[in-house]
Amino acid sequence: MGKTYDTMKAEMELRRYAPSTQDAYLRYAKQFVAHYRRPAEEMGEREIRAFLLYVVRQQKAGDARHKMFVAAIKFLYAEALKRPEEVVGIPWPKVARKLPDILSGSEVAALLSAITSLKQRAVVTTAYGAKMRISEACTLRIEDIDSARMLIHIRQGKRKKDRYVMLAQRLLLCLRQYYRHQRPEGPLLFPGRQADRPMCAKTVRKAVREAVEACGIRKRVTPHSLRHAFATHLLETGTDLRTIQALLGHSSIRTTTVYTRVSRRHIGTVQSPLDVVGTDKGRVLG
């Protein structure tokens, strides 16, 4: 892509897009250009539509991958090349909304125990115990742990937002054990191989995957599953949705209400009419 690649990257940097978003957009835009082996400047809506149909029909791309291609190509033409007319008619695909598999409390405990590395177990415990994203846990600084107020300061989370979350007593004990054993140098609580660089999130994901296999858990589990589990467990123990929204850092309460669709407290304890029809209790049904 040459100059166009540099222009696209510069436009994303000016908008302060996350590095992961920049990498994804550039990767998908390059695949579009490579497909035709022609400069993006020489192509337009006809080529874009044909390519997206190829992605759907020939590559059998899923909803999420299809959407990423659309997002990257729209940014390429609308922002980098300043030709928004080429993509204004390109539709956004409908993406299936799947409910996450929720780990039970005993499954969470088993998973944490199965992580053999003290550092990796501390990171994953922090992610669950303080409902953090793995990227947020990996970049924590020692000064972010406020044991006096029993709070953790999450800096520049998703969408560049700061927030505070509670510091559980058991999590504090876990972090103190880890700190006494590892004695991290520098400001980062979980440094990588270099003291000034955070621990790689890929390393944590691998540790979780191996722990899930060791425990024999058959649910779809990723590090983000711990965040889903925490939110659901909060809801099941009586925490209101607004509080959960603030703790998770959700901009909209609609995002948080998904947990009412997986909570046993909201679904599993509701009695089905099948169990009351024909009984004294079912008389109200006519």
Residue 86 has pLDDT above 90, yes or no: yes
Which residues are annotated as catalytic? 133, 158, 224, 227, 250, 259
Highest mean pLDDT among 25-34, 134-143, 145-154, 276-285: 25-34
3-state secondary structure 187-242: CECCECCCCCCECCHHHHHHHHHHHHHHHCCCCCCCHHHHHHHHHHHHHHCCCCHH
Q: What is the pTM of this model?
A: 0.66
Six-digit token string for 256 = 């948080």
CA angle 220/266/111 to nearest 5° reads 30
Distance separating alpha carbons of residues 259 and 266, to the nearest angstrom:
9
Mean pLDDT of 162-175: 89
Which tens digit of pLDDT belongs to each residue from 5-52? 999 999 999 998 888 899 999 999 999 999 999 999 999 999 999 999
Residue 236 pLDDT level (bands cut at 50, 70, 90): confident
What distance lies between CA 253 and its chain's CA centroid? 17
Distance separating alpha carbons of residues 141 and 150, to the nearest angstrom:
15
Distance separating alpha carbons of residues 23 and 14, to the nearest angstrom:
15
Domains of the chain as residue ranges with CATH? 3-86 (1.10.150.130), 105-268 (1.10.443.10)
Distance separating alpha carbons of residues 24 and 35, to the nearest angstrom:
17
Residue 66 pLDDT level (bands cut at 50, 70, 90): very high
User: Any idea which of 15-24, 79-88, 156-165 has the lowest mean pLDDT?
Assistant: 156-165
Highest mean pLDDT among 49-58, 126-135, 154-163, 232-241: 49-58
